[in-house]
Structures are given as C-alpha cells and as structure tokens.
Structure 1
Amino acid sequence: MNQIKKLLIIGFVWPEPNSSAAGGRMMQLISIFKQNGFEITFASAAQDSDFMVDLSEFGVIKKSIELNSSSFDDFVLELNPDVVLFDRFMIEEQFGWRVVEKCPNAIRILDTEDLHCLRTARQKAFKENRTFEIQDLLSEEVAKREIASILRCDLSLIISDFEMNILKNVFRINEDLLFYLPFLVDEMKEEELSNLPSFNERKNFVFIGNFLHEPNWNTVQHLKEAIWPSIKKDFPEAVLEVYGAYPSQKVLQLHQPKNGFYIMGRAEDANEIVKKSRVVLAPIRFGAGLKGKLLEAMQCGTPSITTSIGSEAMHEDLSWNGFIEDNPAEFAKKAIALYQDENLWKQSQKNGIRIINQCYQKKDYSDKLISLTNSLLADSKSHRLHNFMGNLLQHHAYKSTMYMSKWIEEKNK
C-alpha cells in the first residue's frame, strides 16, 4: 500500500484568493497536490486576516508558527514532511536552514510568485525616470538573495517564461532547478460566452488590484492623471470603477464621482464585477510575473487594454483580448474604441478564449509538476549532487542565517 505523502507549505501570508492573484495561485497549488493524494499542512507566521480562506474546507491542516523560534524545529521534526514548499524566497531564507537541519531528506520547492528582483529593478528605473535594462538585475541587492534561494532549493516554480529566460540566460541557472508553471485554469469554449452578460448588458470601465502591491497603486495614479482626462474629454459619459483590497487613504482620496472616477474599495466578488463591466483598464508601468487580473478578465469575457509590461509573457504570439498600448493618449483612444465598437469587442473576447486555451491549461502542467516532484522524491541525492552551487550556498547561508536567527531568538527571550 502506498504511503501517503506529506506536503508542508510555509506561507508568507494566509491565502486570500479574493484579494490577490498570489492567493489564487496558492490555492491552485494546493488543489494540484491535494488531487494527487498529498496530505497538506499550511503553516505561516502571519496574523490571521478577515479575508483568509478557511483551509479546513479544502482538507488542509492550518498551523501558526513563529519566526526565529526553535518551536518550528520541534514542529517540523514531528511532522516530518516529504516535501516542503516555500511561498517566496524570504520564507526560504527564514525557514530553509531549519528544514535542512531537521528534515534533510525533504524535497524543497520554492514558489517564486514572480521575480522580486525584476519587479524591484523596474520600479527603481521607473522612479529614476530611466529605461530599465536587463543588466540592472545584476547589481540589484535583492537579486543576490533571491537567486541564492533558488539555487538552494531542489526546484523553483516560475510563473512567467520571460522570467525563465532571465534565470537561464542572465543568471545562468541550470534548467533542472526550474519549472515553468503559469496560472492554471480549465479549458473554455467559445459557446460559453453566450452564458456571460452581452455587450449591451455591460457598462463602465473597471480596474481591480490589491493596493498592498505598489504597481497597482501606481497604475491607478497613472489612470487618474494621464489617461482618464483624455477618455472623459472625448467620451463625457464614461465611468471608471476602481476596486481593490486594502485601499489606503491616498487611494480613497482619488474618489471623484463628478468626474466619473469611483474608488469602490474591496470587491466582494471580483468575478461578478468584471463580468458586468465592459472593458478592463490596466496601464501597468512596472512589475513582474503574470497579471491575474488580466487572465480573470479573459475568463469573464471582458476585453482589456494594458501595456507591454502588463501583457508580458501572457499571450505567446496570439492577439491580445483588446489592445496593448504604452502611450497614454493612444491608450485613451483605444479604450473608447473598444468600449463603443461591438464587433471589435466581440473579437477581443474570442482572442481571450484562445489565450486561455493555449497558455493556461491545468492539464498541460499539473501532471508534469507531480511527476517531477515524485522523481525528486525517488532520487534527491543525485539531483543535489549535481547542484554544487546550491550546496555551497546551503553550507554558507546555513551557518550565517542559523546564527543570526539563534541570536534574535536569544534576544527575544
């Protein structure tokens, strides 16, 4: 009889699939491992939130843990997981050495979410009013930490093929340590569009994004200052509804109903809101990874306009479900055209379905992930032997992080 395999996920936060794409991504990973018979424990040092998912409903054990505390050592030793999945590199830095010390045979997987060093370097270039260059990554402080974390793990899940290319060609990371895993959704048929609200049943432009994420706040500022005035001038009846979890005071201050610019706050059901909207606006100026809001728009049959950064790595060579435009004046013109032209709108909807079916099929990736995990479980020794740089980093980081953590723990007593 096959022994049930145990997966420990160490979360940066508790999953909030209705608040962010990262929360949705985590639930997709939980679903894949659950369907393949893994017993899952989700541990986090984060505070509980009002919007976190009830993990017990998904058959997942919830465990609160502490940072810089040997209580984690006792917990992980007793659990003795076969696989440990770190949610973002900062979590691997915190807990990786403890996992190695107490459960050396456990397979260590890193879910990067997106490349933090890419997002940080782009944001820096944007704020310094210069063009981002790939070589900026090589001097980025966070890159040294993030790449070290990827090298220390047995496998890292990479959400964007653009980021896969950076890791392989700029940082020279061995392909055996990387697995391309985009967002995963079910196939969608064109006929399903008839079940969604029609062109005439929809109204308003919409933007949705978690405001704890700096690129989203910047996008809303850009909409308000550079794009919305042009849309409003040529299309006076236009209304934009901006939704997002955790809006700060500076976000709420942009609320201007007389100008058709509404800050709506948290979306109770983002899906329903996007389905009732006619066009998604997402003029994203910096960031990394894939944009969950744009994939969600496609699933809701809602065309979108975004930038080259927004659409990066999202559609292979397929036509976008709307427009990709970096120039604010052109962005505004195309937004109005997409909103008013029913034929263009319907064609954009169909483009979205093609993108979903070619780029994000669950069946194309989930079996490969499980198969790769099982082959690592069967022969981790050989895999690790060939990852000399990872072993070297493990050796040094293990010592430095361990002593720093033990020092903090003593200090906290």
Structure 2
Amino acid sequence: MMLKKLLIIGFVWPEPKSSAAGSRMMQLIETFKSVNYSITFASTSVKTEHAFNLEGIGISQVKIELNHSSFDKFIKALSPDVVLFDRFMVEEQFGWRVAKQCPNACRVLDTEDLHFLRKGRYQAYKDEVHFNKSYLFNDIAKREIASIYRSDLSLVISELEMEILKNDFKVDNTLLCYLPFMLDEIQKAMTEVLPKFEARHYFIFIGNFLHEPNYNGVLYLKKTIWPLIKKKLPNAELHIYGAYTTQKLQQLHNKNQGFLIKGFVEDANYVMQQARVCLAPLRFGAGLKGKLVDAMQNGTPCLMTSVAAEGMFGSLKVNGFIEDSPEGFANKAVEMYKNEKLWDKKQQNGFYIINKRFTKEIYQKKFLSRLEETFTHLNGNRLNNFIGQMLQHHTMQSTKYMGKWIEEKNKII
C-alpha cells in the first residue's frame, strides 16, 4: 500500500538557488511526487523573492499561523497520511497539534543537519578549544533529540550524524533513516562539454550568508588564507557568491586584492564552471555541504577543511584536498590551481563520488520503502518507543498550554 497525502510544514519556503537546505527540500518533494503524492506545503514564514514557485509544479501553498487554533482546523480538514516537519523547531511548534488532530498520520522529521552539533562546534570554536562531548550535550541537543524521539521517522543527511545519534545518544535505529542528497547521475557526455582547465580563471566560494559558518569562512579567507595564496599567485582572483550578502560582508570586497564579493547569482552552475578551484575553509558546521556538491557536479576541484568534508566522501578519493592548517590549505590550493594533471584527476574523483554515493534512484527507493514500512507498523513502533510517548505526553502538557496562553494573549492585544 502506498500513501498518498503529504503535508510539509516548512521552517521557511524552499529557496533551492539560495541554500543546500532549499535544494534538499526540493529533492524530498520530487521523491514524493515520483509516487503521485498530493502535496501541501505550509509555513509561518514570509516568502522572499528567491522562494521557489511550488504552485508551478502542482503543490498547494498555505500560510499558517503560529500558536493559533486555526491550524487545528486546517490539518483536520486536510487529514494527511504523512506530515513532514522541516527541522526540529517546526516539530516543537506543530507536532503536538498534529498528534492530537491526526493521530494516525506518520510524523517524519527532516533534521537538515544536526543543529546541536553545529551549535556545539561553534561554541568550541568561540572558546578556542577542541570540540568534545561536553559541547555535544548542549541545550539544543536536549530539544532536538526529544523531537527525534517524538517523531515516527527522522531523516539524517550524514553518516557521521547517524553514528552520533546511535552511539552518543543511543537513539534506536528504527527511528532513523540515512538519507543524503539525492542527485542525478553525471553522464560522460555532460562532463565532456564542461569548460576545461585552461578556460577557468578564478577561485570561488559560494554559500548562503544567513548561515554563520559561511560568513566565518569568508572572513578566514580574507584575513588568513587569501594573503598566502595571493603571495604565490599575484594575479589570482577569488569570487564570492551567495544569497543574503550583508553590509559587513560587502565591506570585505577589495578589487586590488582580487577579493571580490559578487553576491547572489541566478545560475550557480555557470559561475562554478568558470572557476578553477572551489575553496571551503569552514571551521564549524554540520550536515553535508551543498557547495561541495555544486563543485563536483560542475567539475570544479575543492580545497576544504575536515568540517566541510564531513560525511561527503566515505572511503572514496576526495575531489581535491582536505587541509585544516591555513598554510597547508593555501599551498594545496595553489598547487591545484597550477597543476593541470592533478586538477584533471581530482575532477574525475568528483564525478565518481556523485555517481557512487548520491544516486537519486537508489535513495528515493530506499526512503519510500522505509516510509511505507514505518507507516505499516506505526502503532507497534510507537508502543516500542516509550521515551517518545513520554516526551509527547509532557510536550502536550507544556507546549500545548503555552501555545494556548499565547493565543489568548494575542487576542487581548
């Protein structure tokens, strides 16, 4: 039996041209569409100019309100088979309402990445110490792990994050589903029309600048890494692209240094194909990095830190180099920029990684099969997940009454 009605509650409206999270959401939507789900996407957020036109692909769009009983009426009337929460904060806000109004709906959490891991790494970075378990078990972890237990199935994008959930937090495997990026296979004919080494002329960094690791990475490039590269390649340029460039980011622009803030780009593939080397010197973060996927798909070798590379390559050869020291990072970046033979080899690694580790058809099939299995055994799974029942009970009591109090307070205002 295949389920047919899906409600996605989005933290934001999907922006696939702005962020990896937006691309990920579109991949999930495509997966559900491939088996003819009727899909409704709802969000409390305000749409930006970069939001994807979901109605154009046959998906209903609904604006919902936070802490408002109108959602209860809306979801009861819709009566979805599956509800997908986009990040744990959304499950916190709406999960108890879904459980009450549609108890038989399968509740799926897309973690995007583990927020508590990103938060813990950021704190360790600020404290100037090595990341350890004391940074892992933070307050965000308590909320996010609770959300995973309350959900029937949680989608985890990285193998390392699967290991953290199973080993450090003892989350049962029945609650988790490894689901990385789901990408089209790169055909040989596609690789042959990409610009060659000699036709590419700059370094590139790309990312959404609402995301702190990206801004920090650009700052690290500006202050530490780029001067080292520039010393050996005086004519080199670094082009920095991304949505939501702030004033403080724009202030880093310096034409004389070849450090060029370009801002939002409509076609990330085009600018990536013109670049010779992609730089990803991220010092904290979590999940899989969309910028590395963009680079591999467009035949652009990468220099990256171990945080940036995490979960991407498995046991396969990297599409560039992983370097955590600024000197090592800069030296390898220069070497790859100058050495065509090495560049060609690393480019081929990238194509192989995409085809070997992120094949769309394989992961779509695995996920849909796992979802159907979860739905079939929904009651039994919930009975076996007492921690989830307990957390759901306490959330119903606390969040429910807090939500109702806010709703009443808003009426008075």
TM-score scaled by length of structure 2: 0.98
Q: Which residue of 1 aligns with 2:317?
A: 319
| Structure 2: distance between partners of 1:389 and 1:4 | 27
1:157 is matched with: 155
Alpha-carbon distance in structure 2 between the residues aligned to 1:81 and 1:125:
41
Deviations 1:69-128 (Å, cap 9, x if unpaired)?
Answer: 000001000000000000000000000000011000000000000000000000000001
Equivalent residue, structure 2, for 1:88: 87
Contact 1:4/1:37, CA 8 A, preserved across alignment = no
* Aligned partner letter, 1:306: M
**Contact residue 4 and residue 39 of structure 1 kept, 8 A:** no
CA-based RMSD of the aligned residues comes to 1.0
| Alignment match, 1:268 | 266
CA distance in 1, matches of 2:109, 2:391: 15
Gaps spanning 5+ residues in structure 2: where? none
How far apart are residue 377 of structure 1 and its match?
2.3
In the alignment, is residue 5 of structure 1 matched against residue 13 of structure 2? no
Partner of 1:39: 38
2:207·2:242 contact (CA, 8 Å) conserved in 1? yes
Query: Is the CA contact 1:244–1:265 (under 8 Å) kept in the aligned structure 2?
Result: yes
Please give the alpha-carbon distance, in whole angstroms, between the structure 2 residues aligned to 1:172 and 1:105: 26
State the SS of the aligned residue for 2:197. coil
Give the match for residue 277 of structure 1: 275
Deviations along 1:193-243, one digit per CA (max 9) or x if unpaired, are: 211111111110000000000000000000000100011111100100001
Distance in 2, matches of 1:23 and 1:246, equals 14
Q: CA deviation at 1:3?
A: 8.4
State the 1:387 CA deviation. 0.7
Letter in 2 for 1:133: N
- Hey, what's the Cα distance between the residues in 2 that align with 1:191 and 1:60? 33
Over residues 41-96 of structure 1, what are the superposed CA-to-partner deviations in whole Å (9 max), with x where a residue is unaligned?
00000001111000012211100000000000010000000000000000000000
1:379: Cα distance to partner? 2.5
2:230 maps to 1:232: yes
| Higher mean C-alpha deviation, range 163-172 or range 268-277 | 268-277
Q: Does 1:255 align with 2:272?
A: no
Aligned to 1:111: 110
- Does the 8 Å CA contact 1:7/1:82 hold for their aligned counterparts? yes
How far has the Cα of 1:183 moved from its partner?
A: 0.5
Query: Does residue 53 of structure 1 match 2:47?
Result: no
Identity of paired residues, percent? Answer: 55
Deviation at 1:4, TM superposition (A): 6.6
Give the superposition deviation at 1:303.
Answer: 0.5
- Aligned partner of 1:204 in structure 2 is 202
- Correspondent of 2:290 among 273, 289, 292: 292
Q: CA deviation at 1:264?
A: 0.5
Whether contact under 8 Å (1:190, 1:353) holds in the other structure is no
Larger deviation: 228-237 or 85-94? 228-237
Equivalent residues, number? 411
Residue 317 of structure 1: how far off its partner (Å): 1.1
- In structure 2, the partner of 1:26 is 25
2:123 maps to what in 1?
124
Deviation at 1:189, TM superposition (A): 3.4
- The residue identity in structure 2 corresponding to 1:250 is K
Partner of 1:385: 383
Q: 1:4 to 1:373 in 2, by over 3 A?
A: closer
Quote how far apart the aligned CAs of 1:369 are. 1.0
SS at match of 1:330: helix
Distance 1:64 1:173 in 2: 33
